[in-house]
Every structure is written in structure tokens, then in C-alpha cells.
Chains A and B, each alone.
Chain A
Amino acid sequence: MDLKEKLISSFLAFENQVDVDSFVHNIREEALKEFEDRGFPSKKEEDWKYTSLNKILKEDYSVFPKQENALEYSEVKKYFIHDIDSYKIVFIDGKYSSHLSETTHDGMDVCLMSAALSKPKYRIIIENYFNKIAKGNSISALNTAFSKEGAYIHIPKNKLVEKPIQIIHFSTGNEAALMLQPRNLIIVDENSHLQIIERHQSLTENPVLTNSVTEIFANKRAIVDYYKVQNDNEEASLIDNTFVKQKQESHVSVHTFSFGGKLVRNNLNFYQNGERIDSTLKGVTIIGNKQHVDHNTLVHHQEPNCESHQDYKGIFGDNATGVFNGKVVVDKEAQKTNAFQANNNLLLNDKATINTKPQLEIFADDVKCSHGCTIGQLDDNAMFYLRSRGIPEKEAKALLMYAFANNVLESVKISELKQRINKIIATKLGVNIGFDL
């Protein structure tokens, strides 16, 4: 039985576990039907031309987490940004770990999706927001069909949430192969500010496939900064589907740091729904071996006077492959749009590959849109300059690569996170030098 059949045939059992009368029941059923019709995306689809899921779909995944496998904080502390005060929503093999988490209902909800989907007091919010924007591809439909657990965050208006929220998923190897489908819903009301750090971490060599969906709603003048740290081991794959809907004058940024994993696909979609909105999409990818990272972005400008900034840097060594597919749509009504997109790549040898494709669909006539992509190598003259000052080859390369990615790192607002990322990059590049400026 292949994975698709396995998922479809286990749907009934899944539905029996959760509340069949709930509002989401119909949504799940429709989503399952969509997945049944369309199946997993294949390379025949334009958006998946350079990323094949075949290899990772072959594993015999357990599709339901069975039990919580306890972890001590000391074992996993290093995966947290532990030197800051933060809320934490932690899952182990797909099950919520109250032991490692720190949630709240004090003036806001930082809690669990399972609670939000089943308790009557959340019903109106769920009806208004759940699965309103997570649409358009069969893989997010699959997540919707099995949506049950994840983070639920609702920040009411006029609230500056000072502590960032860390959403962390651990897999422990309890199962020979595990498929996880976390589902997050984040709603930030008028004038409120929120920072989120998300991480998926496998603690074993057993294969893990995570198919995650996150819906983010930023209401008027809300500010949301979302950081995704993707530094998993080489048997873990991630399909991240993130959908952002913004109301007027809101600012949302998503930074994606992709340093590890077997296959990572980021589907990041921004829908602007109001004037004077600012959307920022940034990413740094540094991979080697046979790793594969694919960024597929969409920014849909629907109203006038909005901005979007996309800046993705990629560094590819060994046999690694990268994909960047960035689409910007500017509707006829969206005059005075300012949309900027850049994708710059370094290939460290002849075997590494990057496929980069900017797509602009502009229907308005008074807009500023720019896009550009570059593919290059490390500059020999710069290398000689650094080495002639006593910096060894490996360190000189690392310094140049860091410098190449630096302007994306500069916009990280949580300094402890930035330091952590600097350290991950140094480890990744095998050097022990401080990149701090």
C-alpha cells in the first residue's frame, strides 16, 4: 500500500478519534476528497518541476503519533533559544508535551490547536479563520484532512507580546518512520505585536516527514515577525505550507533559515488585503551533501500603496540542489505597489545546482517592481585578499559566505536568535570564528 492509500484508508479511524460533530468535520472531509483526487504533487506540476517527493514518500510512515515519548529539558535545551524568556509550545512525536511547554491564557491565548478545535468558546474564531487561506495545493489539503494538533495563538488587540513564542516539534525515533502533520493557527489583532520562532528537530536517524500548515492572520496595524529555523538531520524532510493574510498597515516578516534536512520545501504565501501593508520574505539557505531546499513564494498584492520585499540567499555545496520560485501578482487595483525580489546564489562546486525562477504578473500600470537573480562563485580576488592577511582558506571561505548572507541576518530582531544562527552557520561551515560584527 502506498502512502496515499494508507492515508486515505486511515482517515476513518482518525475521524473516530476526534469529534465527528465538530465544525471542522466537513472541512476535513472535503480536504480529504481534494487530496484523493489530486494526490501528492508530482514533477508534472509547474510548481513542483524541480522538486520530486518520490524518494521521501517511499518510506512506510506511521501516520498517527501513538504516544508521547518523554524528553528531559536538559536533553533538548540546545534546540531552544534558551537564553531568553519565552512561551513554548512543544510537541514530541506529534503529541503535546506539557512538561516542556509554557503556554498562557492570560489576556491572550497561546495554547493548543486541539483545544481550539474542540472547545465551544473558540468556535466563532475557528469558523472565521480556520482553513480560510490554506488552499491551493493538495499537500496542504492533506494536512487539513488530518488537522488536529499544533499551536493556536490568538493575540487580542493593542497587545505587545514581549516574550517570543517558540513552537518546537521533536521526533524521537519511537516509530521506525514517522509522518507528522502539525497545524497552526495564529491570529494577531489590531495594533498587536508578536514574534514567533519555529523549529522541527529529529533526534534520531529514523526517517521523518513533516507536512506542516500554518495560517497567520495579521489584522490592522499588527506586526508579526516569524522565524523558521530549519536545521534538521539528513533523514528528516519538511514540507512547510505557510499562509499569511494581512489587513491594512500591518507588517509581517517571515525569515526562513534552511541549513539541514533531506528535503525541505517551503510554500510561503502572502495575501495583502488592505492598504499600506508591508510584507517581508527573507531566507538564507546553506546546504551540502545531497540536500535539497526549495523556496516557493507568492505575494499577492490586491490593494494600492503596499510593499513587499523578498530577499533569498542560497549557498550550495557538494551535490546539493536549491530551488527558488518567487511569484509576485499585482492586481489591477493595486496601484503604487512597490515589490522587490532578489535571489542570489553561490555555487561552491560544479555538482551543486540551483534552479531559480522569478515570476511577475502585473496588471496595474503605476507600480515599482524589481526582481533579479544571480548565480556565482566565491571571488578569487577576495579569497586571496583575506588569505594574504593570514586567514586560512576554510575560514576565508566561511567569512565570505557569511558576508554574502549577512543582509538577511541583519534584519533578525531577536539578538539571541541571531547569535544562535551565527553559531549554526559557523558549525555548518566547520569553522570556529566569530561572525559578530
Chain B
Amino acid sequence: MLKIKNLHASVEDKSILRGINLEVNPGEVHAIMGPNGSGKSTLASVIAGKEEYEVDQGEILFYDDSIDELSAEERAHKGIFMSFQYPVEIPGVTVTNFMKTAINETRKAQGLEEMPANVMLKLIREKSELLDIDRKFLSRSLNVGFSGGEKKRNEIFQMAMIEPKLAILDETDSGLDIDALKIVANGVNKLKSKENAVVVITHYQRLLDYIVPDFVHVILDGRIVKSGPKELAYKLEEQGYDWIKEEVNA
């Protein structure tokens, strides 16, 4: 599904990613871990198509097509979704209207008719229940005045509505208490299938107790320096990153 080959990327001439290689197949869950500033969030933004990031070398393939030249919305139309670490507050646009516009614009791009209003409403109801979201919340301005937990739940609600093929969760666990974490993880797990894939970017192992990865990758200085099974996450939790740095330096 997703193949990243020798990806180098920079922002404002500052090189951040320095040769990422990663392959994600349908049905898999990957975790990407690493200390602050290692390039985790940049990787997510580059895959999602943020314009400020310059791809200097290498390529990103999605179902064997290069997506380097595609805009963020074109990537979304192909089924790539990123849950934001810091969801943006947009006063004046309600959650419902935002979702309606996003889904219908995506359908338009895919050559489909607009979703009938009653089907949309039913879908909204269904998915908001899945994420334990209050109906009142849906008529509020997007992320405005939402608590950290509400913002993250709203991100996963959007994912549930959009049903992407590839979901990248950028530090979705930060700012969540344990109950919110469980709701979010439960939502993600219910959406998992053999056809889609999830990439979880996190500092901490605790989210991985709930969203269990098939592979764990460690990113350091813009490179994936180690990959392994889920047990790797426990070791990182216990021992930190120093031992990996030593391994790399050796």
C-alpha cells in the first residue's frame, strides 16, 4: 500500500528526514517511535502533503503510484488520512458542515454523487456514538473551545466518517487521560480491517497496549534505525532510547 524509499525532506532548508525506508501493507498496524525532534511528525506531514515540506530525494508510493506531486486534498481523495497532533481551531465552521463538505468533495473527486442528507445524518449519528461524542458537540465550531481529549476524539471521529485506507495517527495519545485513550483506541480498533492500515506515531508505549502494532520502528535523526515486533516498544519504555543510539553509533 505505502512504500517510502530513501525519503529525504527538509523545511526552510533545514534537513529533517534523511533517508526513510518504510513499507506498510493492508491489514497492518505500524508504530513509529522516537524522541522529540527525531522527525516523526515531519514524516506524517510529508505523507499527508503539507506544502512547507520539501522532498529533496527519494519517493513515496501509494498503491505503486508516486504521490510526491499530489496536493493534500488529492492524497486525501486517494485514501490517506492524518490525525493531527494539534487539530486547528476553525471558528464559524461546524463539525457537521466540515464533515459534510469533506465527504462530498471527496466523493465529487471520485466521480460519485453527493451523499444524500439522510444517509449523511445516519452516518454521523453512528460514528459519533462509536466515539462517545455528544450530539451537541457536532454543531459547535470545529475544535473551538474543545478540550485536548475532545479534539483527539474529534480527529478519530473524522477518520471514522472518512474511512481512509491509510490512517496516520500523529501523537493521538498526547493530552489524553486513560478513559479518553481507551475510547480513541477502541474507535481505531473497530475501524481496522484487512483492507486498511494504521500508522501510529507516539512517544509512549501506553497507547500501544490498546492499539497493538504488528511492527515497531524507531526513528532517530531522520532515519529509521531499528524495526522489530511489538516487544520493542516495551524495551523502549523501560530503557529509553540511549541503547539504540549506542547501537547506531557502534
Contact = CB atoms under 8 A, between A and B. Distances in A.
B73 A391 contact: yes
A437 to B, nearest CB: 5
Nearest to A432: B108
B164 to A, nearest CB: 10
B98 A381 contact: no
B121 to A, nearest CB: 14
Interface in A365-392: 379-382, 384-392
Interface in B93-115: 93-94, 96-98, 100-106, 109
Contacts of A393: 71, 73
A400 interface: yes
B180 to A, nearest CB: 21
Interface stretch (A9-17, A203-211, A345-353, A403-411): A403-411
Interface in B68-125: 71-73, 75-77, 81-82, 84, 87-88, 90-94, 96-98, 100-106, 109
Contacts of B90: 382, 385-386, 400, 403
A45 to B, nearest CB: 37
A107 interface: no
A396 B102 CA distance: 9
A386 B142 CA distance: 11
8 contacts: A382-B90, A385-B84, A386-B98, A388-B72, A390-B77, A390-B105, A391-B101, A434-B100
Contacts of B49: 387-388
A399 interface: yes
Contacts of A380: 51-52
A403 B91 contact: yes
Contacts, number: 89
B105 A392 contact: yes
Interface residues of A, number: 29
Given A382-B90, A392-B105, 18 more contacts: A386-B98, A387-B76, A388-B49, A388-B76, A388-B84, A389-B98, A389-B158, A390-B102, A390-B105, A392-B109, A399-B93, A399-B98, A403-B92, A433-B101, A433-B105, A435-B97, A437-B96, A437-B97
Interface in A389-429: 389-393, 395-396, 399-400, 402-407
Contacts of A433: 101, 104-105
Given A393-B73, A433-B101, A437-B96, A385 B88 contact: yes
A72 interface: no
A436 interface: yes
B206 interface: no
B72 A381 contact: no
Contacts of B72: 384, 387-388
Contact of A390 (B52, B93, B106): B106
B92 A387 contact: no
Chief secondary structure at chain B's binding surface: helix
Contacts of B91: 403, 406
A403 B94 CA distance: 9
A395 B105 contact: yes
Nearest to A385: B88
A387 B71 contact: yes
Contacts of B84: 385, 388
7 tightest Cβ-Cβ pairs between the two chains A and B: A403-B92, A406-B92, A390-B106, A390-B76, A387-B72, A389-B102, A385-B88
A385 to B, nearest CB: 4
Nearest to B139: A437
A421 to B, nearest CB: 14
B82 A388 contact: yes
Interface in A183-223: none
Contacts of B139: 437
A380 B106 CA distance: 21
Nearest to B103: A390
B162 A388 contact: no
Contacts of A392: 71, 73, 105, 109
B102 A391 contact: yes
Contact of B109 (A379, A382, A386, A390): A390
A403 B102 CA distance: 15
Contacts of A403: 90-93, 141
Given A382-B90, A407-B92, A437-B94, A388 B48 contact: yes
Contacts of B82: 388
B50 interface: yes
Interface string B32-57: 00000000000000001111100000
A379 B97 CA distance: 19
